[in-house]
Amino acid sequence: MTEMHLPPRPYAIAHRGASAYAPGNTLAAFRKADILGADMWEIDIRATSDGVPVVFHDAELADGQALNGLSRDELREFLPSCPDLAEVIALAAELGAGIYADIKDVDAALATLHLLQDTEINPVIIGAFSPQIVQTLQEAGSDYPVAGLVPLGADPHAHSAKADIIHLCWEHMQRPQDELTPDFFNRAFLQSKHVVIWHEEDPGRMADIRTKPVTGICSDTPQLVNPFKAPTSYPFSIVCHRGAYPIAPENTLPGLECALAGGFDYIEVDLQITSDGEVVVIHDATLDRTTDVTGLVRNHTLAQLRKLDAGVKFDPFFAGTRIPTLKEVLELLTRYSARAYLEFKSAPPAPVLKQVLDAGLLDRVFFWSFNRDFLMQLRAMSPEAQIMTRRQDYPSLAEAIADYSANLVEFLPNDDLSEIASLRGSEIRSMIAYMGDDEAVFEHMVKLRPDLFNLNSAFAFARFAKSIWSDNFYW
């Protein structure tokens, strides 16, 4: 077996791919896991009746047919989205991802091992819940560490006695992190075993467990394992424009939470007013582009809007996703100790400001609008509010700041960015807005050292930033 060392930070293991954002164990889920920065993909492996290893979790299809009773061609007919293991391995090799192989059928064990051994993928872990499969892999002389997956209620040390890794599947315990005691780790390490832990999606619990001496953490939201953190030498912030593009639908709770789980400081949302005076989060004045109906937002009540589907047009996986309210977004900020850029569309300042003040979040948001009157009203209502201005809208930087006593200036990549330097050390912050993903533009922007970046492709920027400050990043 290849010797395995404890990594400097836990491997982010995407549970069945990024299965919070795409159907699990599909190529789409694995591609999204790569965008989100996962180190490894956890894949479930079974064998068809003709011995082909395929990536699928359950022993039966939705109609009750046993998977191992179908040939590969028959399975492809019934379930076109189910990939061969060879397809997933090829994609991992192309994207530079590691593989965590969870073997469900003993008949798939050796075929999986042989397919992996013919590649140069790294890292690789191969394991199973079944002690029989673990033993089969060890007796076959696996080149890779073998994991024993431990179900709830089993003794972890006894269940994984023949494994190299203890993989705790305790996600259904209320506080499983309390069981990760020094005594537990000491016993595991004395037996020369590594520890991998359950799939975790709660930010509070993740904060507790990512500091433990574990080799990897599984998660449906792999960006949560090692969230982005700017280098100490340049502590900039990232604003995620309408959430997490291209992972989840814009201006929805899945997309916004995806961005915050990735460690980014700010989410940007667009605020519209309903016919009954409620503030909702949607960019367009009409419902046509992002929901399953047509018409003006302002002609609908909140109750009517909450029945609409704001996810299905983006991807059927998100069918049933609702238009969020400002209140829900503010609750999300509190949960993640995060910040927001709130843009007034049709929603006027007064009800927005009241909700922000009621939530105690005025110091964690900044505001802007194309409607200058809204910004003047906001400044009159709240001298403390943080308000952005756009450099492109004024003849000079001084005029841009003076109009309504702005606290933040947004620049575009083609503006005179030398003005950013003049703001350093002042109370006025600078931000560059860029909606593309060209690394040449990223490089140009970081050289100018603004305080914030407003981005449509935050995860792509984070990957680029990691490449130039690799020794200072957690992500």
Q: Which of 23, 50, 150, 66 is nearest to 107 (CA)?
A: 50
d(CA 142, CA 124): 11
Residue with tokens 């309408």: 242
Reply yes or no on whether 241 is catalytic: yes
Helices (H), 271-371: 302-305, 326-336, 349-358
Count of C-beta atoms within a 10 Å radius of residue 368:
21
As to burial, measured by CB atoms within 10 angstroms (0-12 exposed, 13-18 middle, 19+ buried), residue 379 is middle
Selecting among 15, 194, 199, 283, the annotated active-site residue is 283
Exposed / middle / buried, residue 471 (Cβ in 10 Å: 0-12, 13-18, 19+): exposed
Closest to 203 (Cα-Cα) out of 236, 240, 177: 177
Quote the tokens at residue 232. Answer: 């100490």
Task: Specify whether the CB–CB gap between 376 and 404 falls below 8 A.
Answer: yes
Torsion over CA: 189, 191, 196, 198 (sign): negative
3-state helix, strand, coil in the chain (%, to 5): 35, 20, 45
Q: What is the 3-state secondary structure (H, E, C) of 50-92?
A: CCCEEECCCCECCCCCEHHHCCHHHHHHHCCCCCEHHHHHHHH
Instruction: Select which of 199, 241, 300, 444 is catalytic.
Output: 241
Q: Is 442 left (phi over 0), alpha (psi -120 to 50) or beta?
A: alpha
Q: What whole-number distance in Å separates Cα of residue 96 and Cα of residue 93? A: 5
**Could you say which DSSP state residue 300 is in?**
S
86: Cβ contacts below 8 Å, ≥ 6 apart: 53, 115
The answer to whether residue 283 is catalytic is yes
Selection from 349, 354, 368 nearest residue 408 by Cα:
368
The distance between the two most distant Cα atoms of the chain, rounded to a whole number of Å, is 75
For residue 93 the two structure tokens come to 């090799």
Q: Which of 18, 142, 167, 43 is nearest to 99 (CA)?
A: 43
**What is the rounded CA–CA span in Å between residue 470 and residue 474?**
8
**Residues annotated as part of the active site:** 241, 283
